[in-house]
Amino acid sequence: MQKVSSKLTLGLIILVILFAFSSGISQDKKDETYKALRLFSQIYRLVEENYVREVNPKDLVLGAIEGMLSSLDPHSSLMKPDEFKELEVETKGSFTGIGIEITIKDDVLTVVAPIEDTPAWRAGLKPGDKILKIDEKSTKGMKITDAVKLLRGPKGTPVKLTILRGDRDIFEVTIIRDVIPIISVRSKMLEPGYGYVRISQFQEKTLEELVSALQKLESEAQIKGLILDLRNNPGGLLNSAVDVSDEFLEEGIIVFIKGRTKATQMEFKAKPNPPNRKHRYPIAILINHGTASAAEIVTGALKDNKRAVVIGEKSFGKGSVQTVIPIEDNYAVRLTTALYYTPSGQSIHNVGITPDFVIPSTDIPRAKEKNSNRTEESFHKRFPSPDEDLQVKVALEVLKNIDAIAKLKY
């Protein structure tokens, strides 16, 4: 009875797929698709009838779907109900883990960036670090979703990572999981008239936090220049990146995305800000190899619209759009549907953004605190200052001399 049911299920799946291909596709492609599905059907039955132990038909179909999606690119995947629910929680700004954004780069599980003020950040993980093992499990061939499951866990529990840094430096680091902070924006006046805003990730409340930070800085003094620090910002929500860009722009294109369908071809434009939110001062953006995705959108938007000068190192180059599409039984498909392009038409994906001033990075001091009760005051003690951070120092000097730079003729 189980076999009859599973064959009926498989037949229905194939019929649905064939129906989807019944219009708008050439006969050659239809024939090719039919042959491939027939091959799938033969293998499915072979496994079901001859494998060493009885298998769940649903597991076979889900495995086939996961394999199909993972063959497209590292970012496309089937999200099971618990993974889909976790993603919804994460974008709202709070989850338990070590606090890193990861990707598959050159077929290796790679750190995009550690999220600021998290266990991974305090442990010294860096953009580009390759994760060879999670605890004792090799990451070779591991999917991102599976890696995330292993990295997440209850607060206070340890996870051991084997890291390859560069070409030869292999070391182990044990990190204690914690609740990842929900604050994505922090700010400080570096010196009279020159503000500093750090955005660590793009979440639902990032714009709200940014507006509050800017209002606080602007109430303290007349702002002559602002440093917007997007280093080690792994990205986040597209809408949040658009909103943050729009906060600093009065007009112009922010970003446009291109996919195969009309639904995935969109252009986002800036709108004039209300009178009490006109930020009439120059901006210097700091980026590095850990600046990715949504952070690259903001950088590209402000750079191409001549709104900001960019300082630091070339960004990561993660410029593909993943659309999360809910399906039945609380599953979802995470599918790459388009690529980001900056206002000048430059693709971000696998290219990144080159700064106007290329300045090598220096390690930002990271205090190792024994307890988890970190306060805003303790964070400010670790804020990068011109004295200890070369890129901040250069950005500050550029802002102070921006008028002279703008007068250059060549």
Give me the active site residues, please.
293, 304, 318
* CA end-to-end distance (rounded Å), the chain: 81
Alpha carbon 244 to chain centroid, angstroms: 16
Phi-psi region of 117 (alpha: psi -120 to 50; beta: other; left: phi over 0): left
Q: Residues with Cβ < 8 Å from 211, sequence gap 6 or more?
A: 247, 277
- Tell the residue number behind the tokens 């619209």, with chain if given: 305
Q: If you count them, how many residues does the chain have?
A: 410
Nearby residues of 390 by Cβ (< 8 Å), 6 or more positions away: 359, 360, 361, 362
Structure tokens given for 356: 């106007």
CA distance 264 to 67: 24
Asked if residue 399 lies in contact with residue 194, where contact means CB atoms within 8 angstroms, the answer is yes
Region of 312 (left: φ > 0; alpha: ψ -120 to 50; beta: rest) is left
- Which amino acid is it at 93? G
Tokens matching residue 363: 């390690």
